[in-house]
Amino acid sequence: MFENVPLLKCFPCIQFEDDSNKWIRFQAIVDFLRKHHLETDSIKEIKRHNLLREMKSYKNSIRETDSEIHVNLSTFIRYIFHHCDQLKICLHIVHQIEAAMHSRPKKQQHSIQVYSVEELYKNIATKQFRLPAIDNISKKDQSIDNYCTPCLFQNYKGQFTDNEWQKICFFEYHFSKSNQEAEFKDYDQQLDLKWQFLRQVDNVAVVAKSIKKSSNNIIKYRNERKHIAETDEKILLYASKIHIAARIENELCTAASEDVENVLLFDCVSSCTHRMKIHIFAEVKSERLFQMADVISTFKFHLMNRHNLLMHSIVFLMPNTLTPISEGTDMSRFEIRDLYMLNKLDENIITEHILEDDQEVESAEEEGKCDRCFQNQMIKPLHWKSFNIIQEWTMDVPLDVQILLEHF
């Protein structure tokens, strides 16, 4: 009945068998006017008996059936136009009726249909615009409700929880800042702008999730480049061939990423009596949940098949034992080995495993560099000595991030 007048969609019309007129429940009209009543309205209170008395003054306006009062649709429309200067909601309805009269049939321009302010606020209340941690900090610091929000409809506050109302105020505050002219628009235009702004915010949230995923991938890639750059510092492993410690460590961390946080590799020292093998220190992510057998099997397979290396021992360390080294603090990687050999690392050790000497390694034709560690297509190192900001931005920053930041 009221497809082109959104504010009147909530009114179902009734038609009686003996009458061709359209009728609306009187109580529904009372509830509607009270719900949308504003403190600034000239009529300070919607009184049922005053409303009924005025509508009865119109011809063929009231019909009582089964102890329920119905109002003629034309009577309700006359009331709306008669009070458009006294009740804000009536003015909004008049504007919608005028817009419907002047509008031409056309395709819907927006994927979101323009409903009432109440529908908009209910939609906003379900949103999570920012990360919960950041949201909590801002709420403790200040109340957005106290800020100037000229487009906010305060009369809906009682329908929402404090948290939901803060979201609505937050939305309205930023809407007013982004659309300063909206305060002077009529009800329909302002509401349409708000829905567009909400859709824009939703689209940004989708883009942010996509950027977060690509950013996590690029961070992993850069960490690997940073580790590879350690080759300039000559941190090498000497076995049957020469290997790059940082490269293999990064590969092992990736291979056992569910259980292992950091890895350090060391070659044999002069006191080792076994044949040339690799010693591993592995910092686990969780002391209780890591799968020791799976990690050992993964490391053993990876070292043998990719680098032709044997593993002699692996020491599992508590979380955060190796983190200072991975974050580039003053602590040296070789201090870990020294502390271990001096038995000063016992409190950080979860368990230690010595592998049986049952592995066979392919005999190297001659000593030299490991083909995999020093391959020509090795990932480009990330080092401050060779850092090119233009090249890094153009080639290594995700394209969606470039587009977003270049427009600010």
Pairing of strands 68-72, 23-25: antiparallel
Predicted local confidence at residue 317, as pLDDT? 93
Structural domain boundaries in the chain: 6-102, 117-206, 234-375
Q: Read off the pLDDT of residues 305-359 as tens digits, 9 standing for 90 and up.
A: 989 899 999 999 999 888 777 665 556 778 888 899 999 989 999 999 998 765 5
**DSSP class of 144:** G
Low-confidence ranges of the chain (pLDDT < 70): 1-3, 103-115, 138-148, 183, 224, 226-234, 326-331, 357-367, 376-386, 408
Predicted local confidence at residue 284, as pLDDT? 93
Pairing of strands 278-284, 23-25: unpaired
Predicted local confidence at residue 208, as pLDDT? 81
**DSSP of 361-382:** -PPPSS--B-TTTT-TTPPPP-
Structure tokens at 184: 């002077």
Distances (CA, A) of 312 to 280, 287, 303, 369: 8, 22, 11, 21
Q: Residue 68: what are its φ and ψ, rounded to 5°?
A: -125, 140
Calpha distance 38→91 (Å, rounded): 12
Distances (CA, A) of 144 to 105, 108, 140, 172, 242: 41, 34, 11, 10, 62
Q: Which residues contact 146 (CB under 8 A, 6 or more apart)?
A: none
Calpha distance 49→56 (Å, rounded): 10
The sheet carrying 278-284 orders its strands as: 260-266, 278-284, 311-317, 349-354
Residue 311 pairs in a beta bridge with 278
Predicted local confidence at residue 109, as pLDDT? 46
Q: Residue 255: what are its φ and ψ, rounded to 5°?
A: -65, -35
Calpha distance 314→48 (Å, rounded): 83
User: 323 with 283: CB under 8 angstroms?
Assistant: yes
Predicted local confidence at residue 108, as pLDDT? 46
Predicted local confidence at residue 1, as pLDDT? 57
Calpha distance 245→327 (Å, rounded): 16
Return the CATH superfamily for domain 234-375.
ANL, C-terminal domain (3.30.300.30)
Predicted local confidence at residue 300, as pLDDT? 92
Predicted local confidence at residue 146, as pLDDT? 53
Structure tokens at 377: 């297509």
Give the amino acid at 260.
Answer: V
Distances (CA, A) of 370 to 187, 237, 298, 302, 307: 73, 10, 20, 14, 7
Predicted local confidence at residue 358, as pLDDT? 59
Helices then strands, each counted (H, E), the chain: 14, 9
Within 10 Å of residue 149's Cβ, how many Cβ atoms? 21
